Amino acid sequence: MARPNRTARRRRVKKSRRRSRSASKARPDFDAILGRLCDAMAIISTATRSMAAFEQIEGCLHEPGVNLGEELITLEHGVRALRAAYDEIDVAIRAVSP
């Protein structure tokens, strides 16, 4: 029986290592990222509409007795979600750029 050549075996090992490294780099899921961006925009849009409706009912948002706590919290949450989605898109684009 002939033994396999050691250099041929090394080449096969190096090729398999190269494949596994490139296979481990998963491409970003742009559909999921854009879905999170859409969710963030919906949150901001909802909070903005709520504040606009409140202004129409009450007349002015700047009066001392006006309480916009929940609307502002929702708006802040939406802005944080929008920033996170933007950062995620930025990282994903850099990951696929040559």
Asked if the structure places residue 33 within a domain, the reply is yes
Model confidence over 16-74: pLDDT tens digits? 555 555 555 788 898 999 999 999 999 999 988 888 887 777 666 666 666 777 888 88
For residue 74, CA distances in Å to 47, 48, 57, 86 come to: 6, 9, 19, 18
Asked if the structure places residue 51 within a domain, the reply is yes
Q: What is the pLDDT of residue 49?
A: 87
Residue 50 structural domain: 26-96
Distance CA 51, CA 41 (A): 15
Asked whether 51 and 68 are in contact (CB, 8 A), the reply is yes
Asked if the structure places residue 13 within a domain, the reply is no
Asked if the structure places residue 3 within a domain, the reply is no
Asked if the structure places residue 14 within a domain, the reply is no
Q: What is the pLDDT of residue 4?
A: 55
Phi, psi at residue 36, to the nearest 5°?
-70, -35
Distance CA 90, CA 28 (A): 11
Asked whether 33 and 60 are in contact (CB, 8 A), the reply is no
Asked if the structure places residue 19 within a domain, the reply is no
Residue 95 has pLDDT above 80, yes or no: yes
Total domains in the chain come to 1
